Amino acid sequence: MQEEEEEEEEEEEEEEEEEEEEEEEEEEEEERQMAKEELKEEEKERHMTKEEELEEKEERGETYDKTGGGGIQRK
């Protein structure tokens, strides 16, 4: 009788440990997803900044040769 109770307690403890591990893995996965989203947002911001920079240069009369040949030219 006592052995059965001990076995049940051990099984319950193992199940609890497994559940905790699963929860930790889920949290880690969520953190990775959030980090990926942050990187995407940062990349988007960098791209927007580059676009804004090019627009400002065009407004000042500078053009950027997008073919890569001539660099910045004045109009």
With respect to residue 75, please indicate whether it lies within any of the assigned structural domains: no
The tens place of each residue's pLDDT in the chain, 75 residues long, gives 788 888 899 999 999 999 999 999 999 999 999 999 999 999 988 888 888 888 888 888 766 556 655 555 555
With respect to residue 4, please indicate whether it lies within any of the assigned structural domains: no
**Domain residue limits at 49:** 23-55
The number of distinct structural domains making up the chain is 1
Q: CB burial class (10 A; 0-12, 13-18, 19+) of residue 52?
A: exposed
With respect to residue 1, please indicate whether it lies within any of the assigned structural domains: no
With respect to residue 68, please indicate whether it lies within any of the assigned structural domains: no
pLDDT of residue 53: 85
pLDDT of residue 67: 60
With respect to residue 47, please indicate whether it lies within any of the assigned structural domains: yes
With respect to residue 48, please indicate whether it lies within any of the assigned structural domains: yes
Other Cβ atoms closer than 10 A to 69: 6
CA 57, 63, 67, 68 dihedral sign is negative
The model's pTM is 0.51
Q: What backbone torsions phi and psi does residue 53 show, to the nearest 5 degrees?
A: -60, -45
CA dihedral angle for residue 63, residue 66, residue 71, residue 73, rounded to 10 degrees? -20
pLDDT of residue 41: 93
With respect to residue 5, please indicate whether it lies within any of the assigned structural domains: no
